[in-house]
Structure 1
Amino acid sequence: MTPKHFSKNYGELFSLYIFGGVVTFAGADSIPEVLNNTTAFSFGRGVNKQTTPIDDIVIPFFRNNKPPRINQLAREMSSKANSNNVSKIQKELLFIIENFFGNCEEPKVFSNIHDTIVQIMAKLTINLALGQECAQFEDLVSIFAELATITLRMKFVPPILSFIHPSVHKYFVSLPLKNAIDRHKNIFIQRCKPIVEERILQRKKLGEKYIRKDDIFDYFINELQLDFVDDKFMDYFYVHVYLLIYASNNTTTKFFASTFYDYCGRPELWKELYEEQLKIHNESNGNLGIDDVDKMVKLDCFVKESFRHSADIASLPHIVNADSYTFSNGATIPKDRDVFLYMQDINFNNKFYGETSDDFQPKRGKHACPGRVYAVNVIKILLHEAILKYKIRTESGKIELPKIISCFSTSSESSLIFENRN
C-alpha cells in the first residue's frame, strides 16, 4: 500500500510504524505548518537522522570556535546564477559538454548518465565557488563527485538496523563517508592551501589596490580578516566548501538527470523546445544573459513539470523539537517524532493541478521567479546548450521513469543516444 492509500483512508496527516519507529506524514494542508514553525520542527535533525547523517562527521572540523557560515555561502552561490555569472556558467558548460559528450557525428550511446552529470555538476560548482584554477584539478573534482555519490546512496539504505537502535543504522550508513573524508581533506588542502596563502600575500602587498575575486577564497579571507593560514582554518574552510558542494549538487544532480530523461523520452516536445532555444540563441548571438534565461519560458515550464514528476514521494524529514505539537486540524504529535513531508500530496493534488494532475503537461504555467533559483537556471542553461548541439533520445525509445526506492526517487540508469544536430 502507498501513502496515497493511507491519506485517502486516514486523512492528509497520518502516521505509520516503519522500521522500529513511528513516522508522521504531513500532507498538503499540514506541510506549511511544518515549514513555517522552525522552532517546533528541526529540519537539520531530521536530515541527520533519516537521510544523510553527516553532522557527527563534520562537526570536528569546526574546531576554531568560529560560527558556521553555511547559510551565507548558500546565498552567495544562489546569486551566482542570476547575474553577470550567467555568461561564465554558459562558457563553462559549453566546455564541459564538449569534454564529456564531444563530437557525436555518429550516434553515441552513453550509459548511466547520472554519473556523468555528477561529474559535470561537481566541476561547475567548483568553478563557481573556487574558481577556474581549482576546477582544473581532476583529483579535486573527483572528491566532490564522490561526495555526491556517497551522500546520495546514504538515503537509499533501508533502516533495517534501526530495529536494534537508530544509532546502529546511522553508524552503518555513514561508514563510507567516514572512510573518505580525511582522504578528501588531504587532497583539498594540498590544492587549496597554496592559493589561500598567495591571496593573503597579495592582499598584504597590494593593500587597497587588491582586487577581490568573486570566489569563496576571498569571501573567507575578507570576512575573517585572515593574516595567516593554519590547520584550524583549513579544516574550517574545507568543511564549508564540502557542505556547500554537497548541498548544491545533490538535488541539482538528481533533478537534472531526471529532466534529461524526460526530454529524451518525449519526442512530441522536441520541436517546440528546440525552436525556442534557437530563437534565443540567435537573438543573443550565442552569449546568454540573465534576461535570455528568463525568456526560456517553454523550457522553464518543462523543467518545472519534470521536477514535479521526479520528486520524492515523501522527503524533507523534520523532528519535533517542542514538547509536542498540535496541528490546526487538532492532531497532536509528541516530542522527537519524525515527520516527513508527503510531497506527492502536493505534486499530484487535483486541487492544485485539476483532474489531469497525474499527466505530464509542461504548459501548466510559468515557474515562479526562475532567476532566483540556482538549480533551475543551471539546468536550463545546460539543457539549452545540449538541445542546440545534439539530438538526444532514450535508447529504448520510451519514457524512462524515475526509480522509486522506499519513499525516495532517483533517475533512471538507462542509456541515452547523442547525435550531432548539424
Structure 2
Amino acid sequence: MLQFDLLKTDPSSHARRGKLTLNHGVVQTPIFMPVGTYGTVKGVMPRSLHEMGAQIILGNTFHLWMRPGLDIMKGFGGLHQFEKWDKPILTDSGGFQVWSLGDMRKITEEGVTFASPVNGDKLFMSPEVSMQIQTILNSDIVMQLDECTPYETKGHLTTEAEARKSMEMSRRWAVRSKDEFARLENPNALFGIVQGGMFENLRQESLDALVEMDFPGYAIGGVSVGEPKEQMLQIMAHTPHRLPAHKPRYLMGVGTPEDLVQGVADGVDMFDCVMPTRNARNGTVFTRFGDLKLRNARHKNDPQPLDTSCTCHACAGTSGVSWDQGGREGFSRAYMHHLDRCGEMLGPMLTTIHNLHYYLNLMREVRESLDAGEFSQFRAQFKSDRARGV
C-alpha cells in the first residue's frame, strides 16, 4: 500500500510538501530517513528515534540477508517485529553493497555472483532474489535491484557508453523486479531507481522508461559515489522535478544539511544518508551554525552545549529547553570532547542523537516553511546561519 498526497508546492522552486501513507503509518514529507543497516540505527534506542521525530528508517537487505538470515526473519514476521519498530521501514535492494565488493563479485545479465564477506560462501543476488528477501523483511518500501553506475572504474572516468550499458541493465532488472514483486503478491510498495551516471540524456532515458512502468514511487540512484559535488548538484537539479508530480521522489545516499535543503528545492521528497551517524562516531557534529569538530583542543574548556539552539538530549538534557532559551541541563562541549578523547561509549551515542535530531528538526522546519509559504526565506536564513560558524 502506498498513497502520496501532494499538499503544497513552492512557487519559487520545485519544493513540495506531501503526505505519504504506507502500511505501517504516515510519513510527512520532505523527510530524512535514518539508516539502520543491521536492523538498528547505531547507538540509538528505538524510543529515542520516536522522541526525535523519526517517521521512517532504513534497513539493509544485503547485510540482513547475511546476518541474522532469512529463517530468523521469517520467524519474526519481518523486520518490524524483529527490531521493535512500529513505523514504516524502507529497505535498499542490496545493489550498492554488492557493487562495493569490487573484485569479489561478478555481474552478469542474470545477476551478481559473489563471495559472502561474512564466511566466504558463494552467493547469488538477482532481481528475483532481492524481491524475495525484501518480501520476507516486509519493508513498507522495497527498492528494485539496480547496478550502481560508478563515477570512475579502475582509474578512468566512466564513459557514456559504459554508463549506458549499466543503465540499460538496471532498466531490464527493473522489469524483472516488478514482475517478481507482483508474483510474490507483496502488499507493500516497490520503487524504481533512475540511473545513468553523470549524463543527463541517460538519466532522462532511464526516467522515461521507469515512468512508463508505472512504479508507485521513484528513486534517484548513482549519486554520491565519488563524483565532484558540482556534478552531483547537476543531476539533483536535472532529475527530481521531471519525475511524476503525484508520486514520491527519493534521493539515495545524500547528504550534508546543505544538500538536503538544495534537494528539497530541486523537488526531492525523501532522503537518507549515513553521514549524520557516521560523522557523529568520528567526532563531527552538525549544528545550526556550522559543523563542529569535537576533537579540536579549543573545546577542552568550553561550557556551551554542542548547539545553543538545540533541544536534543545531548544539548538540553531532559528539559527540552535550548541554551539560548535559558536551558542549562545539557552536556558541555568540554564534556563531549573529554568523552571522545577517552573513547567512552556515551560520546558517540550522544553525538549520534544530536546529529539525527538536527537532521530531523531541519526537515521539520523545511515542512513548516512550505506550509507557511516561506521556503525561500527559510533557505536564505539557513544559509546565513550555517555560514556564521560555531
Where relative contact order (Cα < 8 A, 6+ residues apart) is larger, the structure is 1
Bucket of the pairwise TM-score, normalised by the shorter protein: under 0.3
TM-score normalized with structure 1 length? 0.25
The structure with the largest alpha-carbon Rg is 1
TM-score normalized with structure 2 length? 0.27
